[in-house]
A and B are shown apart, each in its own frame.
Chain A
Amino acid sequence: MSRHFARAPGVLSRHTAGRVLLLPPAAERPVELAGTGVLVWELLARPRSEEDLAAVLGDRYGLAPSAIVKDIRPALRALEQSGAIRSEP
């Protein structure tokens, strides 16, 4: 069973020129997301599993979800480390 990801509470955000700026509660400066990262952030408006995210993105880009999972894992890890999202088993 894969982990579920959700937006962390208290994250502030703004869209700017196809990107999203996120300010997690403990961050000194905003984190900037572009490309797929923006879509991942939008999808995480409700908690989702890694597979669920990969299925939606795969559908969108015409790729196999298994290929997408490998791509989004580093992005999810980076977002988690920044405090913008959190995961639960």
Chain B
Amino acid sequence: MTRTDLAGLLRAVAAHSLPGATEPFPPRPLAGATWEQLLGGVRSQRLAGHLLHAIAAGDLPVTDGQHTEAAELHKAAMTHVLLLERRLLHVLEVFGANGVDYRVLKGAAYAHVLYPDPALRVYGDSDVLVPSRAWEAAVAALTGAGYRRRWPQPRAGFDRRFGKGGMFTDPQGYELDLHRTFVLGPFGLTVDLDELFTSSSSFEVGGRTLLALAPEARFLHTCYHAALGSVNPRLVPLRDVAQHLLAEHLDPDAVLEVARRWSAEAVVARAVSLTWRRLALADVVPLSVWARRYEPSAHERWALSTYNGPDHSYGAKTLAAVQTLPSMRDRAAFLYALLLPERDYLAARGTGYLRWWRRGWQALLNREQV
């Protein structure tokens, strides 16, 4: 099987049951080696729920052995998800006891609020957003509950003002991504973070009601993740984008109104275009038409390039972020923290001041070349 065939099969799985999905499934069970490749791709793309659904619906013919393997893959994924869900409940209990407001993000929320059956959405860690003003309280509460932060912040107060968030692990090794905003770099600094906590949607897990972002903000966050999270995003965040637009019936005007306020129209346009292209969707909705026609400005193209361009390094996003900060005072504080970070910040990255400055200088040179 060629790489293109495998990509087509994965696309078919990722887009299964969406209106307008055009990628065909094979008419008969795949040969052993091809099936193994598909299973590997499904595992790494976190599509086990959609694979099992495609098989159960009779759209992907399989042998009995292949059905058993798909079921085992899904069972392993769901076992992990249930254990993550339990840890998430514990984190939210800790936050509740410490008066920390929150919104559950990404897979843990999408499984319940976006998909008809939570078993369709596989995820590998938990993501929770907290208000900037509660950042220190949230970190202290987690640390007190036995969580360890993987990377320290450059200087005291940096995360609350400028950071994306931090990664924590609990004593059993389960990961929690604590967010203050959606992404690093320029697009993460223009989100109205206070607005995210003025509304919500809710879902139930184990008899408890949990809070996620309100639908429009949730869709926009999905777009940030799909468009900016990685140069070559997994298919599952693209499926999340499509699921929002084809199954959730969002008001496109309300979405674009928020996107404009957050200077995120280019992010939405890229996420939706990428989704329609990679999942080969034929159906059109108002936002897919808008996304196809959207022309990013020179500034937006430059900002996008720090996430997807030839130089999409941490340094590039950092330099771009400086130019997005609203005041000279913020810029000075931001640069000071990154030029002279505390020693434990560098030590956690296995580096010292000289190498750190050299890397920063290189990022600056790369930006100029780009």
Cβ contact of A12, chosen from B70, B86, B117, cutoff 8 A: B86
* Segment touching B, from A15-23, A64-72, A73-81: A15-23
Cβ contact of B52, chosen from A10, A12, A16, A23, cutoff 8 A: A16
B75 CB–A CB distance under 8 Å: yes
Residues of B within 8 A of A21 (CB): 75, 78-79, 82
A60 CB–B CB distance under 8 Å: no
A46 CB–B CB distance under 8 Å: no
Asked if residues A17 and B74 are in contact (CB atoms below 8 Å), the reply is yes
B81 CB–A CB distance under 8 Å: yes
B206 CB–A CB distance under 8 Å: yes
Cα–Cα distance between A85 and B75 once the two chains are bound (Å): 21
Cα–Cα distance between A21 and B117 once the two chains are bound (Å): 14
Cα–Cα distance between A29 and B205 once the two chains are bound (Å): 17
Asked if residues B86 and A17 are in contact (CB atoms below 8 Å), the reply is no
Cβ contact of B207, chosen from A9, A14, A19, A23, cutoff 8 A: A9
B342 CB–A CB distance under 8 Å: no
Asked if residues A16 and B82 are in contact (CB atoms below 8 Å), the reply is no
A-B residue pair count with CB separations less than 8 angstroms: 49
Interface residues on A, range: 10 to 19
Tell me if B's interface is mostly helix, strand, loop or mixed: helix
Asked if residues B83 and A23 are in contact (CB atoms below 8 Å), the reply is yes
B337 CB–A CB distance under 8 Å: no
B119 CB–A CB distance under 8 Å: yes
Cβ contact of B119, chosen from A15, A25, A29, A32, cutoff 8 A: A15
A55 CB–B CB distance under 8 Å: no
B341 CB–A CB distance under 8 Å: no
Residues of A within 8 A of B83 (CB): 23
Cα–Cα distance between A10 and B85 once the two chains are bound (Å): 11
Check A9/B52 contact, CB under 8 A, given A14-B119, A21-B75: no
Cα–Cα distance between A89 and B85 once the two chains are bound (Å): 32
A30 CB–B CB distance under 8 Å: yes
Asked if residues A9 and B78 are in contact (CB atoms below 8 Å), the reply is no
Contact with B along A33-76 (1 / 0, CB 8 A): 00000000000000000000000000000000000000000000
Binding site for A on B (CB under 8 A): 52, 56, 67, 70-71, 74-75, 78-79, 81-83, 85-86, 89, 117-119, 205-208
Binding site for B on A (CB under 8 A): 9-17, 19, 21, 23, 25, 29-30, 32
Pairs across A and B, CB under 8 Å, 17 listed: A9-B206, A10-B208, A12-B82, A12-B85, A14-B119, A15-B119, A16-B71, A17-B52, A17-B56, A17-B70, A17-B71, A19-B75, A23-B85, A23-B86, A25-B86, A29-B79, A32-B75
